[in-house]
Structures are given as structure tokens and as C-alpha cells.
Amino acid sequence: MITEGKRNILKVREWDENGAILEDQEQDSIFLPNQYMTRAVETGEELEVFVFIDNIEERIATMELPAFEVDSFACLPVKAVESYGVFLDGGLPKDIFLPNKLAIYKKFDVGEKRLVYISTDPLNGKMVASEKLSNFLSEEPVEYEYNQEVNLRIWRKTPLGYRVIINDESEGMLFNNQVFRKIIIGESCKGYIKDIRESDGKIDVSLSKLGFKEHIDEHQNTILNKLKAAGGALPLNDKSAPELIYSELSMSKKNFKKAIGALYKKRQILIEEQGIRLS
């Protein structure tokens, strides 16, 4: 069955100067217009296409594949602002509509990115976006383990830090004291479960693994390998900015300071004003 708002693997039944007729194993067919082809196709060839509902509410296929599918989260730029909502650029011939009633922040700027959930409008089958992301998270508590690696989507900024979405199913909090690099709303990144509060079940997360003793060798090895690759010296020390340390080593300043302290005690490195170097 051909699924709208999703990627489909379909076979070319026939084609002409206007486009191609594609079909699935049940002979359900759909039209792929020439302007939505990224290359020439051949009869009998299998293609991966994205299926969507166009402006005249007809099902259409495109070989230009977006990074998302329906029933998923996506971070999309604002393409046009209207009085009744905005249109988001999803990389498709048809833009994704975010109506005002499903928006959280009513002020929009063309080009800014918004984290939304893409679903299907039951009235016409077209894709529609919503910023009310809590409606699409699990209503049941999800079991996580301390220090478990998870995927995070940065949702929105708060005075305490950032609200995040964990594994596309739970809401969590990344506090400011766990942030040691620039955070971009809508970005996806790796994170770790820091705490699940017994009082309210809310989840706190971290951008780095917890428990230095357990992972001290990992941080030390990262620094030693980086030093060797750089010719024996790095312009980093305990006075360096957290953002610079993270960009070079992908670790927090706290873990960096503990690691170089341990390496110094083992006489494997020297700590100088200009940075660190192999001893």
C-alpha cells in the first residue's frame, strides 16, 4: 500500500514526457511528474520516493526526499508568514503549514527554525505542523537508567536551562550548569540520563557521561591522542574557555581539568601558560 507522508519503494510501470506512473506490489499507482525527478528513470526500475498531497489534494510522488516523515519531529525553517499561520520549508514541492492555533510562540521571522511535529490533517490528508509537542509524547512513564545514553532534541529555552525531548518520547530538562557549549534550538544531540525525580517523575539530562572515575581513562586517552595528532602540544589549559575545550575535545571543562590533572600526576603531560604538552 502506498503511504502518504512517508518514503515508499515503488516500481516504474510506464513513463513519458510528462512523468512516470509508479506502482506498488498491489498495483496501487501514483504519478511522479517530470519536475519532481532528480534523474531519468527506466521502466521496471524500483525508486524510493516521498508521497504527499498537493495543493489540489491529489497524491503525488517526488524523488526529492525530505529529512522527515509524517508522525515525527522535525526542525524546519519558516518560509512565509501569513495572518493565519506560517509555512515551513520541508524540502518538498509543497510547504508544511503551521496554523496559529498549533503555534506556541506567535511571532515568526522568515528563515528562523522551529521544532515541530509533523502529522496529517484528517480533513484533507495534507501534512500539518504543530509546536504543541507535549501532545505527541508518551503519556506513560518511560523507564530509563542512570547514565543511559539517549538522543536529545533541544526544544526551548527557559530561565533554568533547556527543555528537551528524549528519544522522541519523553520530556526532559537540561539545566544551565550542564551546558558547556552553544546550544541551538531544534538541534539533535547525544545526551545522558542524570536523574529521574521521585517526587514528580521529571527527568534531568546531561550532555556528558556522568561519574568521572568510571570514565577517567576515556578522557585521558582522548587528550593524549589529540596531543599526539597535534605534534605534542595543544593551546588548552585549565584557564581555557569551556566552548574552546568542547570544540577541540568534545568534553566539558570540568572533565578536562580532572583529566589533565591525572595526566600531570602521572608525568605524562606538562601544564604551561600556553597550554598542555607531552612530557
Phi, psi of 135 (to 5 degrees): -65, -15
Q: Residue 188 is placed in which grid cell?
A: 539533535
The pLDDT value recorded for residue 101 is 94
pLDDT tens per residue, range 212-257:
455 567 788 889 989 999 999 999 988 898 889 888 887 778 778 8
Q: Between helices 242-249 and 212-229, what is the axis angle to 10°?
A: 70
Tens digits of per-residue pLDDT, 115-130? 999 999 888 888 999 9
Grid cell of 205 as nine digits? 539530562
Contact 152, 205 (CB under 8 A): yes
Radius of gyration (C-alpha) of the chain in whole angstroms:
25
Please, what's the b/e burial string for 253-262 (b: 16 or more CB within 10 A of its CB; e: otherwise)? Answer: bebbbbbbeb
d(CA 74, CA 164): 13
Prediction pTM value:
0.72
**Contact present, 207 and 253 (Cβ < 8 Å):** no
Give, in order, the Cα–Cα distances in Å from 125 to each of 52, 58, 107, 147, 244. 9, 10, 27, 41, 47
Q: How far apart are CA 255 and CA 276, in angstroms?
A: 15
Q: Write the pLDDT tens digit of every residue in 127-173.
A: 999 999 999 998 888 888 888 999 999 999 999 999 999 999 999 99
Q: Would you place residue 70 in the very low, low, confident or very high pLDDT band (cuts 50, 70, 90)?
A: very high
pLDDT score for 258: 85
Contacts (Cβ under 8 Å, ≥6 apart) of 96:
76, 87, 88, 89, 90, 116, 118, 127, 128, 129
d(CA 152, CA 85): 27
Q: Which amino acid is at 124?
A: N
Kindly tell me if the per-residue pLDDT of 179 is higher than 90: no
Query: 198: pLDDT confidence band, cut at 50, 70 and 90?
Result: low
CB-based contacts of 150, cutoff 8 Å, min separation 6? 144, 166, 167, 190, 191, 192, 193, 205
